[in-house]
Every structure is written in structure tokens, then in C-alpha cells.
Structure 1
């Protein structure tokens, strides 16, 4: 069967939720009827979300895919400033559970048509009366569109208990608003063929509910007297790495400091040995600029000014009796024996690192905080007065074939019981 919608209808519904999240930036989101967690897997990349929860009555389906929500390697290599916790529960949307109260957004995507009409009433009470979220997105099939669906006879899925017309969906939604203090906007996804949109509407109709009064509009009597019940079973939970964790922040900061200290040392050494050349490729050919041109260009940057200050750091990290030996390098002093194991060292001032690497300054917050965070780290060797990082002077560094002008980034970068399950198992949509 030829695909009727581009992109497929289930992706359009998920994209509708994602677009809503981008605009409204909810901190706490729960997907009711999460099934195999396909929507949650997309939402986890929107890191304005702090808590992402999925609920489904079919625990087997959840368990089948839940480990796909675990952090991946880049989440550890490039941790976000924001915190993200993901929780998955087995439970019925017709039951109240205290863990689902106080959310900014609740999504119910192609779920309510799997409930009996009596359970729809309980669903309304649980979601709008007990959970009282700031916003709710409900999508459900529009039965008026069904005659346009090729090969469809009856409901779109064998487990559907009903499929509403636009008028029936509107009637239920307005009743919910009147009873629980919400307003609703009607829309949908899945456009009808040209000239028929007005007559049949969207293939999937959507109601976007917003609580009157927004975040402050919760009925305080309802909130205070709400039942503290917990019938749901926690199946999975995970915390994503975050820079708010002191240990993770320190690890990333140390990595940045060591990376940039080594880069600055190499560039300074190459300039001092006359090996530094800046080449530009233009029109398929190379033009090597003179050292004087390079020097003039470098004087225009804060980073290069800081590099020249390496020479001016007389004795920083070196005991006073060594000051006359070399302006930057220490040789046989006890401090250098301890820190550099008899190797000569290049002293890279912390304020130079601060100027050259915005990520170092943003991660640490202040120069004094940078010094404090580095002070006791075994990977970092600081000067005696704690104002500079000591980097081993090794001649073999000059033999490495790297473009010294490429002060590249280190990699750190700035989400009968019914099935109560979403659209993943729909018979008709599996083919279109």
C-alpha cells in the first residue's frame, strides 16, 4: 500500500509534541500510554526537560525498549548543564498515583480510544482533576476521516472501543474544561486531500488543554486534599550526567584545562624556535605568510597576548633561587623535581587559560574558583603560588604533526483491563 502521509502520521503526532515542548519549555513531562517509549526517546534530547516519565499498563512492552533511554557515550563526554531524570512505570491511566502530580505537560497520544467510555471518565478525573498539569495534549482518531483511508473497514485498530467524530471529541473536551478549570484549542495532524479538509478535518484530531491561571491556577483545595497513593510499579529510572554534579564538573574542567595548557605550550614553543608558520589555502593554492605578518595578526587576539605573557611569568611555579635561570623554564629546583620529575616545565598562567578558553571560564565561574577546583586534582600540577599550570617540556611534542593554529575544541559542547497503549500497534497505520 502506498504511503498516504508524508511524514508518516505517527511521526507527525510526535513532532506536534516536540514543537510544543520547544515553544513552551516544560520542565516535567509525562507520556501516558508510552508503550515502547518512542516519543520519550525523542523528547530526551530536549534538555530543558528535567524529569521525563512514561506510564503504560503493559510492562512487557516498556521493558522491551526501556534500556534504549539510557545515556549514551556522548552524554558522558559532553554533559549538559541541565539535569535529566527518566522514570518508567507500569500502571493504569485510570488510577491515581502521587508520582504523577505537579507536571508541566501530560501527553496522551492515541490512547483514550483504547478505553471504555466509563474508563474515559476516570481518565478525565485522574489527569485533569488529580494530576492537574499545566498543559495536556490529547490526540485521538477522527472517525470522519475514515472513509478516505484505503482498505479500512470499521475501526483503525481491533482494540479501539470507539472512534469519535470532531463534534464528539469537542463535546468531551469542553466538558472537561468546564469541570476542571481548563481551556482547549482544537487542531490535528494528517491533512485531508485538497478540497476536503473542511469537510472531514484532520486524520488525527488533537486537543491542547491549558489550565486556567497557568502554573498558579491549580485549585489549592484539590492540591491540599489530594490522595497520596502509589499503585504504580517503577520499572526503570536513570539520571543523566550533568555539570551540576561537582565530580562531573571537575572532570570536564580538568580535561579542558589540560587540553588548552598543552596547546598553548606547543604554540609558544614553536614560535620561540622559529618553526611557526601560518598558511592559508585560497583558490586551491597555498600562501605562507611571513613571521612578522603572523606576529602582527596574533597581537590582535587576547589569547595570543596571553601566550606572550608566558615569557613574562618570571619564576611562577619556580622557587626564588631559580628565577635567574630562565623566565619560563625551571630545571633542577625541588619544586620542579616534585611536580615535573626532573623535566623542565612550561608555566601556563591560569589567567591566560581563562582568557584563551571561554569554556574554562564558563565552567569554573571565576578565576579563584578555577584555582580552587584545580588545587587538589592529581592530574593537574600547579605552580607554588597556585597561579599557573605546569606542563612538562618535552622535545618530542614538536615532532607531532599538528597544525598549531588549530586550537581545536576538546570535544565538550555547549530531551477486562484495556491496553492503555499508544499508537505503535495500530493495524491500519502499520501500512501507511
Structure 2
């Protein structure tokens, strides 16, 4: 909700950040998967919670839809979320509606937060809030914060309530009385704490500036005090303003796209290595894997972390096998990269596919990947590279220069060196 009207530099960090950090710390410790923020306003708490990927469903509710709409697109995925999707799942939903009304979509969350909200309600609406949140939504845990009026005399320049829209501000005893009544009626236990420490010597007499109740639902055999239980009519009173699913590798389409990209990249790197060795050594049968340092330099980390002699031997076998399979393809101007070599040498391909059989299955009907007839290798075309070289030679002939009695003269090489040094 809105910040109070008194001058802000009393707390470092500011009090609203301390309240949000309290929720963040709770999420880190308890790892709830479904989190609902009541009175989300401009979504500032939600924008921090979205980075905690243990949360799979993040929902905000506010009665003022205009304020939510101003900031809701800041909860959209970043470009890096699409370029490098993770296995984590996250869905964000924002609703317009009142905390005094029921909506079946917000039932059964792991955590519900109500940060500086209830003081904006009338006392009659606070009773309805208690019934809706604890009796109908029935979260596993709830965090409720509200101003502590006993702290108000320490706030310079404050006259009356901390905000013009506050309907009340409770003392610690009043907050405790309300919280214990909630626990008794709806089957919760509560722990009292807060944020905003007073100056030394004032803690016992005034308490925290913002008092907090952390509610946890008790495990009970009956739900006699739960409203809208099994068999009750489903109620949908809120308006959905925004929803988005973050990209995740658990989505088969996204997994397929990322896997294909990794396969093509890995195959291209292995093809380049083979062609370099073929042109440099003239005899590919003696080629073996480089050391781990050389391999990372060539492939940008395509190979996995080698595990001493056995893994080096395995890599050597894979590479020798890879080379031995090329004779059948070179005449067709392509390089055959066996799937088992890709799976063994590229950790990302290994992780994404899970098994060699699964890798083959995922690539079988993929139009961007050309497989061998037996489906055991990726065919990487070398024709494009050859065509580029031929076109370069043709351009040279058209310009009036002799294309091929090279090697270059020493003078030409010297001239190239001069140009490179300018």
C-alpha cells in the first residue's frame, strides 16, 4: 500500500524495503511454490519475488486496477529468460478485486502476504478479510504486517494516523487480540515479530514500527471452520488483468528448440575440428582429442569436465571413431557427426536429452537437423564453405588477376603485414 506521510529517512534501509525483505527471507527459508500478495499495488514486492525460482505461481491482487496496470509489464520475462531458459517454472497472474470477496482461483496457496493493507479497511471489512483469507483461501502460511501505533510518538512531525487513508492503527495488544481470534476460529498458530527497530532503550516500551504476524495453518483432521470447502459453489469475482508463463525447459517446444540449437552448434564445432586436422595433418587416422585446455579453446567448452585417464581414453575412442566414419561422407561434401560423440562430448546436449535414445528420438522429425539414413549421426554440410571459396576465386579471375599460381610472393605477404599493422 502507500507509504506514510512522515519524513522517510528514519530507517536504513527504508521501512518498506525491510518489510519486503522479511517476506523474501521467509521465501528463501520455506520455499513456497505458490505465493499470493494481497494489496500488491504497483507490484514492487512481486518484482523481487519473481527472481526466486522456487516460486512457480506468483499472484497479485489489488482493488485499484489502474495502479496495477501501470507496472504489470515489469513482471514480464527478460530477453535472457528466452535465450537461456531454465528448468524452473514460473507463472505470473495479476487480478483486480477486493480482499473481502471470494475467488476460487486464489485458494490453497503456500503463502499469502498482506503488507500494510488491513489498516486501509473498515473494522467490518477486517472481519470479512479474516473470513476470506483464513477461512476460504486457507493458505499454508500468511504474513500480515500493519502499523504499530505505539511507535507513532517517535515519528517526527506525525499528527494522527500515518496515512490519510488509514481507518485505524492498532497497538500491539489490539493486533495480538485480532490475530489470536483468527487462529482460534480458523485453525492457525501465529508468531509475532516486526521490522523497524526503535532507538536503544525503546524496544520494550514501543515495539517495532511495523508489527508482523506470521500465521501457519495447523494440520487438522476436520475442516469444520473452513468456508467454501468440498462441494461448495465455485466463485470467481476477480478480474484477471495480466498473466504470463516464463519460458521453461519443461515446455517440450522450448526444450526442442534449445536442444536443436545445441546440437547444431556442437556438430559444427566438431566438424570444424575435423576439417582443421584433415587439412593440417593430411592424415586423419592419427588424430586424437586435445587436452582439456586446448579443447575449451577450440570449442568454447563443448566437452564436459574430463575425469582423468579413463575419460581421456573414452574421448580418444569417440574422436577416432568419428574420423573413421567420414570416408563415406566426404564425397558428398558433408561431415557425419555421430550422435554418441555429440552426446558424450557436449554436456549441454547430454543434459537436455537425458539419454542417447531420447536424443535420437527428439531429432528424428526435426526439419533443421539432417540425420544419416540409420539416424545415428548428424550430417553437417561443407558445400556452403566450398562455394564461398569458389566464389572468391571467381571474383579474383573476373578482376584480371591470375587466381592460382599461389603461393604469394614475399612482397605480397609483406604488404599484407603492413596493412595489418596500420
> Paired residue for 1:344?
334
User: Which has a greater percent of helix?
Assistant: 2
Report the equivalent of 1:330.
329
Of 179, 184, 187, 2:190 maps to 184
Q: Distance in 2 between matches of 1:168 and 1:187?
A: 14
Instruction: Tell me if the contact between 1:299 and 1:305 (Cα under 8 Å) persists in the aligned partners.
Output: no
SS at match of 1:237: strand
Q: How has the CA–CA distance of structure 1 residues 38 and 218 changed in structure 2, closer, same or farther, with 3 Å as cutoff?
A: farther
Alignment-derived partner of residue 370 in structure 2: 381
1:138-159 superposed Cα distances (whole Å, 9 cap, x missing partner): 0111111122222222211110
Larger displacement relative to structure 2 (69-78 or 351-360)? 351-360
Number of paired residues?
362
Distance, in Å, in 1 between the alignment partners of 2:268 and 2:373 is 19
How many angstroms does 1:240 deviate by? 1.5
| Residues 137 and 6 of structure 1, relative CA distance in 2, 3 Å threshold | same
Give the match's secondary structure for 2:52.
Answer: coil
Query: Aligned to 1:311, which of 320, 340, 348?
Result: 320
TM-fit CA distance, 1:33 = 0.4
- Does the 8 Å contact 2:62/2:97 carry over to 1? yes
Q: Distance in 2 between matches of 1:311 and 1:395?
A: 26
Q: 1:201-350 residue pairs with structure 2 within 5 A?
A: 201-213=207-219, 222=227, 223-271=229-277, 273=280, 300=309, 302=311, 305-306=314-315, 309-313=318-322, 316=325, 327=326, 330-332=329-331, 336=332, 343-345=333-335, 347-350=336-339
Tell whether the 8 Å contact from 1:354 to 1:367 is kept in structure 2 after alignment.
yes
**Structure 1, gaps ≥5 residues long:** 281-296, 317-326, 337-342, 398-432
**Maintained 8 Å contact 2:91/2:244:** yes
Deviation at 1:88, TM superposition (A): 1.0
Q: Is the 8 A contact 1:83 1:242 kept in 2?
A: yes
Q: 2:352 aligns with which of 342, 348, 363?
A: 363
Equivalent in 113, 116, 131 of residue 110 of structure 1? 116
> Closer, same or farther in 2 for the Cα pair 1:314/1:261, shift >3 Å?
closer
**Alignment pair present for 1:134 and 2:144:** no
Secondary structure of residue in 2 paired with 1:12: helix
Deviations 1:320-364 (A, max 9, x none): xxxxxxx456233xxx4xxxxxx232x222222222222222211
Q: Does the residue aligned with 2:100 lie in a helix, a strand or coil? A: coil
CA contact (8 A) 2:135 2:226 kept: no
Partner of 1:159: 165
Alpha-carbon spacing, 1:264–1:201, altered in 2? closer, same or farther (3 Å): farther
TM-score relative to the length of structure 1: 0.76
User: Is residue 264–residue 307 contact of structure 1 (8 Å, CA) maintained in 2?
Assistant: no
- Name the Cα RMSD after superposition: 3.0
Instruction: Say if 1:83 and 1:241, in contact at 8 Å, map to a contact too.
Output: yes
